[in-house]
Amino acid sequence: MKIPFLEIDKVNKLYEPQLTNAVTDVLRSSNIVLGENVRQFEENFAKYCGVKHCVGVGSGLDALLITFSAYKQLGVFKDEDEILVPANTYFATVLGITKNNLVPVFVEPNELTFNINPELIEEKITHRTKAILVVHLYGQVVEMNKIRGIAEKYNLKIIEDGAQAHGSEYQGKKVGNLGDACAFSFYPTKNLGAIGEAGAITTNDDNLVEIIRTLRNYGKDNNGDVIYDGFNSRLDEIQAAILNIKLKYLDLNNERRTRIAKRYFTEIKNPKINLPKNSGDKSHNWHLFVIKTEKRNELQSFLSDNGIQTIIHYSVLPTKMHIFEKYIDDDFLITESIQNQVLSLPLNIAMTENEIDFVIEKINEF
């Protein structure tokens, strides 16, 4: 049996007639940029997240770049201000900070949740600290109450990176509505995925959203004057049309993923394997099912020999990347120990029961 980590064509095949119709409608429309599909998606996704505003943009990285840029335009952040960010994240999170001439200050994660450890945040705060960028890594929501307590005490903004956590909830509220603003990616492999590049920003802040809308469209105001040094990062109509359809299935698909995760939790019985924390509720959308083992490389080869593809998220940490070298003034031993042990198992909505059986069987055999 061959089990690739994810076959995106099989996922899209599930919705093919609807997606084809949606693309054809755009093809026949005369309003191809910032048209009706984008407007509808922004309305639908804001409603889904329970927030006032959603602005569709070109990618997840653009969502981060535009959010930080908007705070600079508002005068909330200034050049060289510090932004707290988890050391254990996808590097694009950090680029959102550095490309805005802000300084990332890395914080170690909690070993069980993989997310930023709130207990380790305060020691990294200085008079230049302006925000905490929380990443709901692998789809698991961050412990927001503790983060909010710190943010209030030091008057910091909370920006979410929700790129992996569409639909995940914290105390009944969805990701996208847990901080001051949230950046989403709809990269094809995410739980809500386009068929190309796409992203969005959600917020309840009326002032911020006005700047964000202007920034994604060159920085041009309604009179045609360019008032900010902006971006061309308008969510594409075709991607918005696709996302409007896929959004209807997001909850169902997150439930499917949760069911597969549940099978892994109950049926993987190998003392060499550490399973992730299982809260058993909606705080995790199982974007990635990440196990830990001291024998990670051996397990990955063993599974590969048996036709099962796994991935290491992330094989190079931001704290080890050349581009971020100048910001590193500390050890990140917890992050590195996680990085040496993690392995992401195949978990997606196109997997058959036989394939899930086979993954479980081979892990137990290892």
Ligand X SMILES: *Cc1c(COP(=O)(O)O)cnc(C)c1O
Point out which residues bind ligand X (CB under 6 A): 59-61, 89-90, 92-93, 135, 161, 163-164, 185, 187, 199
Question: Residue with structure tokens 């399973």?
Answer: 275
Give 243 or 299: the residue with its C-beta nearer to ligand X.
243
Nearest-5° angle of CA 47, CA 53, CA 55? 105
In the complex, least distance from residue 23 CB atom to ligand X, rounded to whole angstroms: 20
Contact 93, 324 (CB under 8 A): no
Closest C-alpha to 130, from 85, 83, 180, 69: 83
Give 118 or 199: the residue with its C-beta nearer to ligand X.
199
In the complex, least distance from residue 144 CB atom to ligand X, rounded to whole angstroms: 17
In the complex, least distance from residue 88 CB atom to ligand X, rounded to whole angstroms: 10
Give 186 or 358: the residue with its C-beta nearer to ligand X.
186
Give 90 or 327: the residue with its C-beta nearer to ligand X.
90
In the complex, least distance from residue 280 CB atom to ligand X, rounded to whole angstroms: 24
In the complex, least distance from residue 124 CB atom to ligand X, rounded to whole angstroms: 20
Rg value, the chain, Cα: 21
Distances (CA, A) of 86 to 90, 93, 161, 359: 9, 9, 11, 31
Give 56 or 362: the residue with its C-beta nearer to ligand X.
56
Give 135 or 192: the residue with its C-beta nearer to ligand X.
135
90 sits in the region (left: phi over 0; alpha: psi -120 to 50; else beta) called beta
In the complex, least distance from residue 65 CB atom to ligand X, rounded to whole angstroms: 9
In the complex, least distance from residue 17 CB atom to ligand X, rounded to whole angstroms: 26
Q: What is the C-alpha to C-alpha distance for residues 217 and 103, in angstroms, rounded to an integer? A: 26
Residue nearest to ligand X (CB): 60
Give 90 or 324: the residue with its C-beta nearer to ligand X.
90
Give 77 or 187: the residue with its C-beta nearer to ligand X.
187
Give 5 or 366: the residue with its C-beta nearer to ligand X.
5
Give 138 or 332: the residue with its C-beta nearer to ligand X.
138
Contact 180, 158 (CB under 8 A): yes
Contact 266, 362 (CB under 8 A): no
Contact 343, 312 (CB under 8 A): yes
In the complex, least distance from residue 182 CB atom to ligand X, rounded to whole angstroms: 11
Contact 73, 215 (CB under 8 A): yes
In the complex, least distance from residue 87 CB atom to ligand X, rounded to whole angstroms: 13
In the complex, least distance from residue 314 CB atom to ligand X, rounded to whole angstroms: 10
